[in-house]
Chains A and B, each alone.
Chain A
């Protein structure tokens, strides 16, 4: 079974703090994705990566950055957390860029910024 794990289920940070959210997948997938989930808005793509050291902006990249130093690990970074970044963050991975590859999701990190 594919497993995607996220470092924390719940996280509370203060405004202005630097925040790291970690995601690890164990299936040697090329692609990794970060989404945020908000009520009524579904999931929105923040950043994605097709390979190590490669990153692409998604639909809502402002205020975020990412790092992919190893194939299995994809980190989301909030350089200076703000209250409007309070949300559920979901990581996903998939095998390739062919249209039939399924994305597998982690359990999510619920981040609260005070």
Chain B
């Protein structure tokens, strides 16, 4: 069965600093991978997704993620964080039939 691990429960970053969120997955086949963001009191919004091709994926809000098959990782990055990026971030892998398995989430706090 597939699984997703987000090793960092909380990350605190200063506004303007870079951000990297880690995601490791376990899946037998070629993975479809996603990053979602959940702002306080909101549902989940898709940031980006990887299905095939270029291993560096660009998303919305200035985020990007890199798929590394050899490390079973799909880390999310942003070069310069804004206060509005404070949220919880979820990595997910898709199994057959469009079913998603999520990691436990990483909560990002942004210091002024």
Interface of B is mostly: strand
Partner of B99, one of A40, A45, A100: A45
Residue numbers in A under 8 Å from B34 (CB-CB): 102
Q: How many residues of B contact A (CB 8 A)?
A: 26
Does B57 touch A at the CB level, under 8 Å?
no
- Measured CB to CB, the residues of B under 8 A from A are 4, 6, 9, 32, 34, 36, 41-46, 49, 51, 90, 92, 94, 97-105
The answer to whether residues A40 and B9 also contact, given A97-B98, A99-B32, A99-B98 and a CB cut-off of 8 A, is yes
Interface size on A, residues (CB 8 A): 29
Assembly CA distance A103 to B4 (angstroms)? 17
Q: In the complex, are the beta carbons of B90 and A42 less than 8 A apart?
A: yes
Closest to A96 in B: B98
Contact flags (1/0) for A80-96 with B, using CB distance below 8 Å? 00000000001010101
